[in-house]
Amino acid sequence: KNIDFNLGDAINPKLEASLGGLPAENDWLFKAEFTDRTLMKNSLSYDTYRKMGRWAPRTRFCELIIDGQYMGVYTLMEKVKRDGNRLDISKLTAQDNSGDELTGGYIIEMNPTGAQPAWYSAFPPVNDATTSYNVEFKHVYPRANEITEPQKFYIKSFIDSFESTLNGPDFLNPATGYKSYINVESFIDFLILNEFTGNYDSYGRSTYLYKEKNAKGGKLHMGPPWDY
């Protein structure tokens, strides 16, 4: 099983520290490469994406022992999180509810895990003929228990408008079409990585999106990659 853990001690319950030479942080994951007999697909996929000039979680292979019991080979992995050393986007506080401050940064996940989503897409998934899952969106940053109502409304409206435009008759309009909503290059790079690696979760599961403030470009980005 995967082991999601935070670092802490009696003095500092939210301790940030470096593990395996990776940048210091509090949130980490021991990833069990349960369906991957090579144990390397996540690490190789993320490394490829970083070489494409984009951020992806850094990894370290390790042998895990818990309470004297050998658990096997795991991948120590950074989690997708807003951080200067991880996904470096603008901080969004509970006071940022208007103007440019409201427009970013956000991290959204598409992943039908059984947990209640923030909202559903108005459109069927690309593999609608072979799945019973709807397209779900979940809040990652700000977290679902921290995001304000204006922030919820803003990011949902932005993504809904993008999807409606992409599915509309004028989607190629250079001023008001889909390109006005997204960083096209990030979508291209993400599609290349998914197709190159043959990721069977592509586009509907374990898929992240993020958006910066309008003053910093304001476009919706696809990525970073997760769970290959």
pLDDT score, position 35? 87
Share of the chain above pLDDT 90, in %: 86
Give the Cα separation of 139 and 135 in Å (integer).
Answer: 14
pLDDT score, position 113? 80
In 10 A of CB 161, how many CB atoms?
12
Give the Cα separation of 165 and 206 in Å (integer).
Answer: 24
pLDDT score, position 7? 96
pLDDT score, position 51? 97
Shortest CA distance to 50 belongs to which of 188, 228, 204, 225? 225
17-61 pLDDT tens trace: 999 999 999 999 999 998 899 999 999 999 999 999 999 999 999
111-169 pLDDT tens trace: 888 889 999 999 988 776 667 778 899 999 999 999 999 999 999 999 999 999 999 99
Q: Which residues have C-beta within 8 Å of that of residue 34, sequence separation ≥ 6?
A: none
| pLDDT at position 204 over 80 | no
| pLDDT at position 98 over 80 | yes
| Tokens representing residue 118 in the block | 């923030």
> In angstroms, what CA-CA distances link 105 with 189, 209, 225?
21, 11, 18
